[in-house]
Amino acid sequence: MATSPHRPPAGLSRRSLLGGAAALAAVPLLSSCVGFNTSGGKAGSLDFLSTQFTPVEEKQRFEKVLADAKVNAAYNAVEGNVFASTLTSQAEAGSVQVSLAGAMHGELAPLADRFTDVDGLLKGKLAQAEYPKDLLELAKAGGSTAKYIPWMQASYVVAVHKRALEWLPSGADVNSLTYDQYLDWAIAARKANGSPVFGFPAGPDGLYARFVQGHLLPSFTGGQVTTFRSADAIDAWKYMKELWANFVPASTNYDNMQEPLAKGEVMVAWDHIARIIEAPKGNPDEWLLVPSPKGPKGLGYMLVVAGLAIPDGAPDPDGATDAILSLSEPDVQIEVLKQNTFFPVSVTELPDDLEGATKLAAEAITAQREAKDAIMALPPVGTGERDGEVTAVFQNSFRQICLDDRSIKSVVDEQAAELQSILDDLKIPCWAPDPAEAVCEVG
């Protein structure tokens, strides 16, 4: 198809423009409306942006909790990245539209500078609430004043399908396992079953880094950062490598454990309580939820906390404050526990009318917290925007040691250097279980 240049009559341009203009006139008919509201807010509702309760059923149950608590909010549940970029771009453009932000500590902390101070609220109307001290410290996000109000908490436990109990090593108590017994159990189960039955959330959105940060390292070394390169840490990784060899290989695709558990691909798995709870929900009699195993130094476990914050320049700060007060009411907090298995932070007494899977979860969490050798660990505090990079240090350590089969010593040294360079920039104190030194250093 050769095309040779030729000069068409000038009429072409003007006439085609006229035609185009006629077509353009039809467009406004289509685009006259700016779209339909999809967040279910009624007139005068405030924009509530959150990273929690994204699964469709949880979202519906929480929207009902909001309605019953007389909170008129358009509840938008989004992924962490959308949460961060929405708040960031709104703040930078100087036109904030979100009045209330609810997310995990690790998601709020990087944005702490963009939130209104809520110290006054904690010391005023919420002075009666029984917040644990650690949570109030966490809420400062590395600063000197509270940037968010603690909203709810959760932790990580082990789910066990009762069929797996037949392979439990003799003399082991499933409600008080040691890591050695956990490994022996995994090996026995694999041999008896012909293929592994223990799983691990090592998928792209899986929380395996939290296992390393809050469970494995504290239990073996008593610390998270200051003991990162210790001989104990090397032992911990040797153990992890052995354990990994007895996990279902598909674990690298598991973002949450409730589905493989429910499907029977996996019978025993550690994960976040909210990512396990769907498995025993339908048939709680067939399941156990037990505390995480203990290591040489004690029972390391990670505490998860979500908070509520008010962005600077929010269109409706008063409405947001009222919403926070409503969501902090003890009965609303208990309702959230019953509906979505997130535990209260403003009350310490749990009701005794819990049922089914929620009851199992409450018992496991309480047993874990009250174990005499419990070591509470927190997700990194005050790392702000670098939070993701700190998490990546623990993820990469796991992947390189267990998946790529590299030398433990050299991986730990490399990643320690990486972690140290991040901490050098930040100059922050350490967080639990490490002692709160003036400046945190990798040990």
Partner 1 sequence: MTTSDTAATPTRGNSAALRAHRWRRFGVQVACLAVTAFMAIPIYLIAVAAFSSRDALNEFPRALWPSDLSWDTMGTFVSSTGILPAFGNSLIVGVNTLVWSLLVGAPAGYALARYAFRGREPYQLFLLFTRALPIVVLSVPMAQLFLSTGVYDTTTGVTLLHTALALPTTVLITAAVFVAVPRDVEEAAQIFGCSPFSAFVRVVLPLALPGVSAASIFTFVLSWNEVLGAAVLTLNRRTLPGQVLSTLQYSPEAYRFAGGFALIVPAIIFIALMRKYLLNMWGTTLR
Partner 2 sequence: MAATQVTEVAPRRRRIPPVVWLIAPSVLFMAALMGWPTISGLIQAFKTGDGFGFDNFARMAADPFFWPAVRNTLLLIVILIPVQFALALGMALLLRAKPKLSGLYFYIWAIPLAVSDLAAGLVWLSIFTDHGYLNSFLSHLGIDGVNWLSYDSNTSMFFAVFIAELWRATSLVLVIVVAGMQGIPKDYDEAAQVFGASYWQRLRHVTLPLLRPSLQVALILRTILAFQTFAVAQALTGRDFPVLVGETYNWYVALRNPSVASALALVILAISMITAIVYLRALRDPSDKGGKR
Residues lying near partner 2 in the complex (CB under 8 A):
1-5, 8, 10, 12-13, 16-17, 80-81, 84, 110, 203-204, 248-250, 252-253, 263-265, 385-389, 391-392, 396, 399-400, 403-404
Q: How far is the CB of 68 from partner 2 (least distance, A)?
A: 34
Q: Which two tokens stand for residue 96?
A: 């904030």
38 binds, among partner 2, partner 1, none (CB under 5 to 8 A by kind): partner 1
Query: What's the rounded Cα separation, in Å, for the pair 245 and 189?
Result: 13
Query: What's the rounded Cα separation, in Å, for the pair 388 and 109?
Result: 11
98 binds, among partner 2, partner 1, none (CB under 5 to 8 A by kind): partner 1
Nearer to partner 2, 333 or 391 (CB): 391
Q: How far is the CB of 78 from partner 2 (least distance, A)?
A: 12
Rg (the chain; Cα; Å): 26
Instruction: Find the binder of partner 1 among 226, 258, 346, 383 (CB under 8 A).
Output: 258
Instruction: Find the binder of partner 1 among 46, 50, 63, 147 (CB under 8 A).
Output: 63
Instruction: For Cα atoms 22, 25, 26, give the angle at the middle one, nearest 5 degrees.
Output: 100
Q: Which two tokens stand for residue 440?
A: 């945190």
Instruction: Find the binder of partner 1 among 42, 54, 373, 427 (CB under 8 A).
Output: 54
Query: What's the rounded Cα separation, in Å, for the pair 235 and 240?
Result: 9
Neighbours of 303 (CB within 10 A): 23
55 binds, among partner 2, partner 1, none (CB under 5 to 8 A by kind): partner 1
Q: Which of 290, 295, 285 has its CA nearest to residue 273?
A: 290
Query: According to the binding rule CB under 8 A, does residue 133 interact with partner 1?
Result: no
Instruction: Find the binder of partner 1 among 36, 128, 353, 355 (CB under 8 A).
Output: 36
Instruction: Find the binder of partner 1 among 44, 70, 94, 285 (CB under 8 A).
Output: 94
What single letter denotes the amino acid at residue 107? Answer: E
Query: According to the binding rule CB under 8 A, does residue 194 interact with partner 1?
Result: no
Query: What's the rounded Cα separation, in Å, for the pair 301 and 153?
Result: 13
Report which DSSP code applies to 255: S
Owner of token pair 């908490």:
153
Query: According to the binding rule CB under 8 A, does residue 82 interact with partner 1?
Result: yes
Name the pairing type of β-strands 287-290 and 100-104: unpaired
Query: According to the binding rule CB under 8 A, does residue 263 interact with partner 1?
Result: yes
Q: How far is the CB of 301 from partner 1 (least distance, A)?
A: 22
**First-last CA distance in the chain:** 71
Query: According to the binding rule CB under 8 A, does residue 339 interact with partner 1?
Result: no
Query: What's the rounded Cα separation, in Å, for the pair 406 and 192?
Result: 29
Longest dimension (CA), the chain: 96
Name the pairing type of β-strands 73-77 and 100-104: unpaired
Q: How far is the CB of 52 from partner 2 (least distance, A)?
A: 17
Query: What's the rounded Cα separation, in Å, for the pair 168 and 188?
Result: 8
Q: What track of x and - describes contact with partner 1 for positions 12 through 31 (by CB under 8 A)? A: x--xx--xx--xx-xx--xx
Which residues would be at the binding site for partner 1 (CB under 8 A)? 1, 3-5, 8-9, 11-12, 15-16, 19-20, 23-24, 26-27, 30-31, 33-41, 47, 49, 54-57, 59-60, 63, 74-79, 82, 85-86, 88-90, 92-95, 97-98, 205, 255-256, 258-259, 262-265, 275, 278, 282
